[in-house]
Structure formats: structure tokens, C-alpha cells
Amino acid sequence: MTNSTHIRRALHLVILIALLALSACGGDGEPAKEQKEETPHAGEHEESGPAEQAEEGRITLSEAAYRTAGIRVEAVAAEAVAGAGSGLQVPGQVEFEPERVAMVSPRASGRIERLTVVEGDRVRAGQTVALVSSREFLIAQTDLVQAVRRARVLAGTQDAAGAEALADAARRRLRLLGVSDAAIRRVADTGEIAAVMPVPAPFGGSIVETHALAGQALEAGAPLFKIADLSSVDVAAEVPERSMPLLRIGQRAAITLAAYPALRFEGRVERLRDQLDPATRTVKAIIHVPNPQRSLRPGMFASVTLDAPAEAALRTGAATLLTIPEAALVTEGEARYVFVEVGPRAFERRAVRVEALSAPGSTVPAVGRVAVRSGLAAGERIAVSGAFTLKSEMGKAGFEHGH
């Protein structure tokens, strides 16, 4: 190999080393700087996407997403219990007073010869409402006539006491059949036997139901009529569960009816039923109401105002309750929750327990609001519109966060 060949190779090696050095310096003689990936600021990230999930159960919307969603917030309100100052107003229904309603039935088997009253008639105590042909009744009368004759024959003898005892037993048997003392005396004095047994009304009242027809055979105790004394009735007021602490025996109540808006009836709470209605979450307070004009009729709906002064409500802690618009609620299975504002465009999902503001059928409408039993405090601000958008965005943010 010649010297010229060695020289050319040396030149080529020098040129190759120089090119490598230039490449390492970035082509401008300066060492190459390591590029770092910059993380955008929070504000830049918000503008780049609709929402981000800062932590579990919270979401922050970008300004654009917030405007698009049309979100409106409202403070949780603390409202007075309906009627806390002038009385608790609840719905009610007129009922029979149990002690003043009865079934009328014969005390011996037989056949109905005639019904002397019809449904809607008013009757006096002891008035005959039906005539029944009964073999048992005929036998009891015959026994009385024979016992009385025997007692008269044996009067003044040693057998007089026994004969009189038999006559008294015959009289008691007729009384057990519902025969009046006047009718028993007539049979004993005249010896005349009545062909049909009268069925009397046990007390004065109105015939409200008929259960038999003339000519019908029936057993002892079979119902003929239902009779009710409407001079006094009960009103069953449906009191919401949350207002139970305001109830007490003897509490005054005012009752009004749609049929007679100008009339006002007064009564007092006589008893409270022990069972709570699971469907309406109400307990029935039974109010005893005098009804001399019989304007209150069983089955009528009524509006009841119970005397529940503000002092009593404050003592029981039931003077106020928290309310929110029903539109703010989001449902997920059996759970209910709302979105609480925790910062600018930031919301927290919060589980709540709510109930209706008034019992079904109440004369005080709920006007689209519900009572909050737990989960919120007065003054907290919640999303009352756009809640479903927040739910959707939180779901998307959670999905992206998980991936």
C-alpha cells in the first residue's frame, strides 16, 4: 500500500469524526437539550375538555360546558311546618262511631214475613223493623201461657213457688228472643199468642244498609239491617309521620267539608290508631264530632285543622323542615341524590333521604317540592336544573379516569 492511499484513508476518518461531532451538537454547535413534555395548567385543561373529575363523587365543568348545560343552582330552604302557627291541616274522612252502629238481626230462626222499614229510614229505639215467623217464638209464648195458668191454679199452695219460677223462666226466654216487657205482659195477661215475632231496633238511628228480603228464610243472628246513630260521628284524620310528635289525646280540631264550606264542626282527638299506613306514611287520629243536624255523613272527605301551636312545634323540633325542588333529585335504582355546589362550576354528588311534603289527598299541595330528611343542610346550594347533565358528565369523567 502506497503513502497516498494511507493519506486518503486518514482524511476520510477525520471527515467522519467531524460529521458525528456536528450531529451531537444539534447542528449549530450547541449541545442538544432534552425535550420535556409540558403539562397544561388546570385552566388550559378545563378549556380543552368538558369536565374533569378531581376526586371520587366530585366534578368540575369547564366554562363552556357549564353554559351549555344550563345549570341553575338554588339554596336549600328551611320552611315552617304547614300550619305551625294556626294548626296542622290534614285530610280526613267521616266514619261511623263504633258505639253507635249495629247490625239488626232476629234472635230465633224463621222466615221473614215483612220488612217494615227500608234503607234511609230513621227509626226509634225499640221500633219494629221486621216481622219473622218463628216456631221457637211460638213455643216460648205457649210455654209462658201454660206456666202463668199453672201458677194461678197453684197460688196459695206449697207448689206455688215452683210454678211461679217456671213462669219467670218463660218470661226470660222471651226476653232473650228480643220481645219487649210490654208484649210479654200482654201474652201472660190475655193468653193470646202472636203469630209473628217482632224484630226491634236496638236504638234510635238511620237504616244505612239492608241485607234481607221478605219471604227469606234465615237463621238466628242473620243480618237484616245495619243501623247507625249519626247524632255523633268520628272523623279519621291522616296525620303525616313527621307530624306525629304534635298529636295528643284531647287535642282540639276543626273540620270543614267541601259540601258545606260555610259550616265549621268542632271536635277533639279521642284516640290514635296504633298502625302506621305503610303506603301513605300516615297515622289516623280519630276525632269525636257532635253531629246533631246529621250534616256529616260517613264516607265524606273532610279537611281537618288540628290545634298545633307554634310553641309545641318548637318543643318537638318540628317547627321547620328543609325543602328542595323535586326537579333537583336524581334517581339511581332506589337511591336518591342531588348535586351540591362546592366551588365555581364544581359539584359534589350527595345522597339524600326525602319524603312528600304532604300526605296524598291533602288540601295543602306540595307544589313540586319535597322535604329533606337527611343529607343536606339549610343554605347549601344545589343544582335544580341540569342535574342530569352533571350525572352524565360525571359518568364520562369516571370512565376516562378509570382508563
338: helix, coil or strand? strand
Domains in the chain, please, with CATH? Answer: 51-81+319-402 (2.40.420.20), 92-96+232-309 (2.40.30.170), 103-228 (2.40.50.100)
Task: Look at residue 242 in the predicted model and tell me its pLDDT.
Answer: 83
State residue 78's pLDDT score.
81
Q: Please check whether residue 246 is in contact with residue 309, taking contact to mean a CB–CB distance below 8 angstroms.
A: no
Which residues are within 8 A (CB) of 88 and not within 5 positions of it... i.e. 6 or more apart? 81, 82, 239, 243, 246, 305, 306, 308
pLDDT at 364: 46
Transcribe 91-152 into DSSP letters: EEEEE--GGGEEEE--SS-EEEEEE---TT-EE-TT-EEEEEE-HHHHHHHHHHHHHHHHHH
Q: What is the pLDDT of residue 174?
A: 95
What residues in the chain have per-residue pLDDT under 50? 26-49, 53-54, 82-85, 310-317, 359-365, 399, 403
DSSP 24: H
> How far apart, in whole angstroms, are the C-alpha atoms of residue 129 and residue 115?
6
Q: DSSP class of residue 262?
A: T
Cell of 14: 477525520
In sequence order, the 6+-apart residues with CB closer than 8 A to the CB of 185 are: none
pLDDT at position 23: 55
42: cell is: 388546570
Furthest-apart CA atoms within the chain: distance in Å: 184
Q: How far apart are CA 247 and CA 77, in angstroms?
A: 25
pLDDT tens digits, one per residue of 367-397: 577 888 888 998 899 998 888 888 887 777 6
Laid out side by side, the sheet with 320-325 consists of 77-80, 320-325, 369-374, 353-356
At residue 225, the 3 state secondary structure works out as strand
pLDDT score recorded for residue 10: 63
Give the HSE-up count for residue 142: Cα atoms under 13 Å, Cβ half-sphere.
Answer: 7
Residue 80 has a pLDDT of: 62
The whole-angstrom separation of Cα 121 and Cα 104 is 14
Rounded to two decimals, what is the model's pTM? 0.54
pLDDT attached to residue 83: 42
Grid cell, residue 55, equals 376526586
Assigned C-alpha cell, 21: 461531532
Backbone angles phi, psi at 199, to 5 degrees: -110, 115
